[in-house]
Amino acid sequence: MPRPRPLQCPFCSTYLIRPVEIRFKAIEITGGICRCGAIYAFDRTGHSLGEIYLDAMTFLCRGDLDMALSLNPEDYEDISFDYDYETNRLDARSSTGRAGKILFMRLKQRLG
Ligand SMILES: [Zn+2]
């Protein structure tokens, strides 16, 4: 089993702050932005990554839903981890025994 480690961008290794509530255009997510341009989104339940996935993609596209829907799988990379909000650590079991998920996404190149 992997050891818990601090929340860190998987693309550039920057240490990141806890996800925060973000309302931007039509998007409501709990997440943040890394200095490398990657975004992250937190799913507290750990069971509905599908629901936050489109919001995360739209956030990645700066609120442009049409652009998000037109992205091809080769246009971006994404990776998700177990994440415990209380300790702000990846691959950790939360104190309640229920780990959330955190999803990272980054465009492979700047589009448009
Ligand atoms: Zn980064």
* Ligand 1 midpoint to CA 9 (Å): 5
CA distance 67 to 62: 9
Q: Is residue 112 part of a domain?
A: no
Evaluate whether residue 89 is within a structural domain: yes
Which pLDDT value is given to residue 26? 84
pTM: 0.87
Question: Which residues are placed with Cβ below 5 angstroms of ligand 1, an ion?
Answer: 9, 11-12, 14, 34, 36, 38
Whether 79 is in a domain gets the answer yes
User: What is the tens place of the pLDDT at every residue in 8-61?
Assistant: 999 999 999 999 999 988 899 999 999 999 999 999 877 777 778 999 999 999
Measure 51 CA to ligand 1 centroid, in angstroms: 23
- For residue 60, is it within any domain? yes
Domain count along the chain: 1
Q: What is the pLDDT of residues 65-108, one digit of tens each?
A: 999 999 999 999 999 999 989 889 997 665 566 678 999 999 99
Cβ neighbours, 10 Å, residue 51 = 11
Q: Domain span at residue 91? A: 5-107
Instruction: Tell me the C-alpha to C-alpha distance, in Å, between residue 98 and each of 69, 78, 86, 91.
Output: 31, 22, 11, 12
